[in-house]
A = this chain, B = another copy of it.
Amino acid sequence: MKKNLLIIGAGGVAQVAAYKAAMHNDVLGDIHIASRTLSKCEGIVAGILEKKALKRPGILAAHQLDAMDVEATKALIRRTKSQIVINAGSAFLNMSVLRACMDVGAAYIDTAIHEDPSRICETPPWYGNYEWTHRDECERKGVTAILGAGFDPGVVNAYAALAAQRLFDRIDSIDIIDVNAGSHGRYFATNFDPEINFREFTGTVWSWQDSQWTSNSMFEVSRTDDLPVVGTHKTYLTGHDEIHSLSANLGVPDVRFWMGFGEHYINVFTVLKNLGLLSEQPVTTAEGLEVVPLKVVKAVLPDPVSLAPDYVGKTFIGDLIRGVRDGVETEVLIYNISDHEEAFAETDSQAISYTAGVPATAAAMLIATGQWECHRMANVEELPPLPFLDLLGRMGLPTRVRDARGDWAFEELDLPEPELVAVRTGKVS
């Protein structure tokens, strides 16, 4: 049982995590929010208080923190007596925050993989380049570190674990499909940090096919699916975090990620990329100023947080899983639908932030209650999926399952076997 939560970051995901944590401060204890820009943290605190979202009276505080500074982070964790840390800051912070958590013995949660600012789409598996090099230290110290506990990665990993443990005898392929069918009404914007967003699409697209790493370029391979609620959408094979753990942990030959893009997004992206404006490598202006083009693109684009009030429509994220059950070829789609306006009404954020932030807080709650306190580093598919999906259903992210028989709420599912205890080395089928 752990108490008191420190959330690092003040973007959309951190905001949702904070609102949801406040709504469950009976489980989580004190809630602290820290980022480089104190005013952003104070804004989140003010928003929570205005919505009267604190479940019961308790500490809700904003702090200034440069989380690249490990000692400062450790000091803040100690000072706030935080036993759980959600790192919802930049993807460049993971290693620093994890270091701080391992040093002080706090549980660590993040929602996206670590990135080196000067590199993109490195050699797979990505987790092997950074996070997993600390597996042994976490185990030795008994530190719980849950990697990628947003929606994708995160909930989609739990969907895969659910399928592997309860719905299939053998899984042949997992296709994760992410479609934002909403509209923000701007000429162009990214739904989270533009720098991280674009970095996903500028390098090699790595996928796991025929049990090996396969490389493509962005927008090279597409598929079109008729999806529940949001209808027919074209999606593109995209490199993404969860492929890099599911491929290692589930023993499934094909693990792919597909993201929906409209033609306008692709056009803007293509222009920027071809001109070199999405480069993470610095260029020098005629005046001698050294500057990273991608950071300038980020500076001119709308702050993703600012999109939320005008966002309408729904998001679809799900796992299309094919395999065999009881000797029969089977296809199951496990998914969530979220609504931008409903997310905003509850957390002052759009659904992209909502779907990533709620699971992080759910993971913190499962650590607080002991259900996910595993005393080691784990990706989400290595942890029991049922309590997570059950909690998410109660927190605003219901799971649905479409199979040959129909379209079901997760709670209506007839789950045939008792849950297996997930094992560290994967192969949970």
Residues of A at under 8 Å CB distance from B?
187-188, 195, 267-268, 271-272, 274-277, 279, 283-287, 289, 291-293, 295-301
Q: Bound complex: CA of A293 vs CA of B296, how far in Å?
A: 7
Name 20 A/B residue pairs within 8 A (Cβ), A-sorted: A188-B271, A188-B274, A195-B286, A267-B267, A267-B271, A271-B271, A272-B275, A275-B297, A277-B296, A277-B300, A283-B299, A284-B299, A285-B291, A285-B292, A285-B295, A286-B298, A286-B299, A287-B295, A289-B289, A293-B299
Q: Bound complex: CA of A374 vs CA of B292, how far in Å?
A: 49
Q: Separation in Å of the A344 CB from the closest CB of chain B?
A: 24
Q: How many copies does the complex hold?
A: 2
Top 4 closest pairs, chain A to chain B, by CB: A276-B300, A283-B299, A285-B295, A271-B271
Q: Bound complex: CA of A285 vs CA of B292, how far in Å?
A: 10
- The interface residues of chain B lying within 8 Å CB-to-CB of A297 are 275, 277
- The interface residues of chain B lying within 8 Å CB-to-CB of A300 are 275-277, 279, 283, 293
- The interface residues of chain B lying within 8 Å CB-to-CB of A267 are 267, 271
Q: Bound complex: CA of A289 vs CA of B285, how far in Å?
A: 13
Q: Separation in Å of the A298 CB from the closest CB of chain B?
A: 6
Q: Bound complex: CA of A24 vs CA of B138, how far in Å?
A: 78
Chain B: CB-nearest residue to A287: B295
Q: Separation in Å of the A252 CB from the closest CB of chain B?
A: 38
Using A289-B295, A293-B300 as known contacts, list a sample of 12 further A-B pairs with CB atoms less than 8 Å apart, ordered by residue number in A.
A187-B274, A188-B274, A188-B275, A195-B286, A268-B271, A275-B301, A277-B300, A283-B296, A283-B300, A285-B296, A291-B296, A291-B299
Q: Separation in Å of the A299 CB from the closest CB of chain B?
A: 4
Q: Separation in Å of the A286 CB from the closest CB of chain B?
A: 6
- The answer, among B187, B188, B271, B296, for a CB contact under 8 Å with A296, is B296
Q: Bound complex: CA of A94 vs CA of B187, how far in Å?
A: 37
Q: Separation in Å of the A376 CB from the closest CB of chain B?
A: 34
Q: Bound complex: CA of A291 vs CA of B292, how far in Å?
A: 10
- The answer, among B187, B274, B291, for a CB contact under 8 Å with A291, is B291
Q: Bound complex: CA of A275 vs CA of B198, how far in Å?
A: 15
- The interface residues of chain B lying within 8 Å CB-to-CB of A279 are 300
Chain B: CB-nearest residue to A189: B275
- The interface residues of chain B lying within 8 Å CB-to-CB of A271 are 188, 267-268, 271-272
